[in-house]
Amino acid sequence: MTDPTLRLPSQRFRAVLDLGENVGTLPPLPRSLGRPELDADFDDESSTLTVYLHFATGQLHADVTDDRFDHHFHDARGNDITRSPWKREPTAALLEWAQRFASMALPVMPDLLDDAEDAAEWYAAGLTVYARDTGPVPLEIIEVELEGELLMLPWLGSGTVDHEHIDGDDHPIELLWDPLGREPSIRIARAWLDARTDQPRTVAEPGVDWNAVGLSASEVLSWLEGVYLNHHVLAHPAQVIMRAALERIAGLR
C-alpha cells in the first residue's frame, strides 16, 4: 500500500489572467440546484467550447460555438437521460445561465488554456506567481492551492514500463512492460478508481513471471498505485488553475 503521507507539501499559487469583460456579472443559479462543479474544454479545429456543469442531482453538458448551443443532460451518476433531472423553472434558468456563461468564456478560452499550461510550468519551476505580458486590459488574480505529488521512486524493475488508459468503468489504466527495454507491450497489472472511496485499486495480471520483472507483484502494485494517484487522481496544476478561472468568470468564487 502506497503511503499517502509521503508527498510534497501543498502550495498556494497565484495567476494573473485576462478573463475578458463582465467577469462575475452572471445572475446567481437557482438555489435549489446547489453549487456546481464547473469545467470546460475547447476544440481548436471546430472552435467549440464544451461546458460541464455537475450538480449533486444531475449534470448539464453543452457544446457551444458563436452561433450554436447544443445541450444534453445526465443523471447524478453521469448516465445519459432524455430530459432534465430538474423541474421546468430551474432548468430554464440554468440553460439561460449556461448560455450567458458560454458567451463570456468562449472568447477567452484559447488564451486561457495556454496561460494555464504556462502557469503550471512556472509552478513546476518553483515559482509561486504567474503573470504574462499583456496590454492595458482588466486582469484578475486567481489564487489556488495545488496539492503536492506523492514521492515515488523511479521504476526499479527490469526492462521498461508505461501506463495507458483502457476501456472500462472507473477510469482504468494498464501497466505495460518490456523485458528488453523496448516499447512496453506486455500487460502485467491494472489500476482503477474505486467509486466508493475515490482511491485507486490495483490487480496483477495472471501468469506474469515476476522474477523476470525484477520486482514482486506486491511491489509493482504499490508502485502502480502511486502512479495512479499522481497522474489520475491529483488534478494537474493547469486544470486547477483553469477551473478556478472559469469559476471567477462565472462569479462562483
Cell of 191: 489500476
Cell of 26: 452572471
Question: Pick from 239, 241, 236, 252: which is nearest to 104 by CA?
Answer: 252
Distance CA 44, CA 178 (A): 36
Q: How confident is the model at residue 147, as a pLDDT?
A: 83
Residue spans per domain, the chain: 11-147+236-250, 160-233
Q: How confident is the model at residue 3, as a pLDDT?
A: 57
> Residue type at 247?
E
Q: How confident is the model at residue 196, as a pLDDT?
A: 83
Q: What is the largest CA-CA distance in the chain?
A: 64
Left if phi > 0, otherwise alpha if psi is -120 to 50, otherwise beta: which for 126? left
Residue 7 DSSP symbol: B
Q: What is the pTM of this model?
A: 0.77
Helix (H) and strand (E) counts for the chain? 5, 12
Q: How confident is the model at residue 70, as a pLDDT?
A: 96
Q: How confident is the model at residue 152, as a pLDDT?
A: 84
Q: How confident is the model at residue 5, as a pLDDT?
A: 59
Cell of 226: 502511486
Mean pLDDT split into 10-residue runs, the chain, 253 residues: 66 94 91 94 94 96 95 92 95 97 95 95 94 85 89 92 90 95 95 87 95 96 91 88 96 90
DSSP E strand stretches across 147-244: 160-165, 173-178, 186-194, 199-204
Give the alpha-carbon dihedral of 149, 152, 154, 157, to 10 degrees.
-140
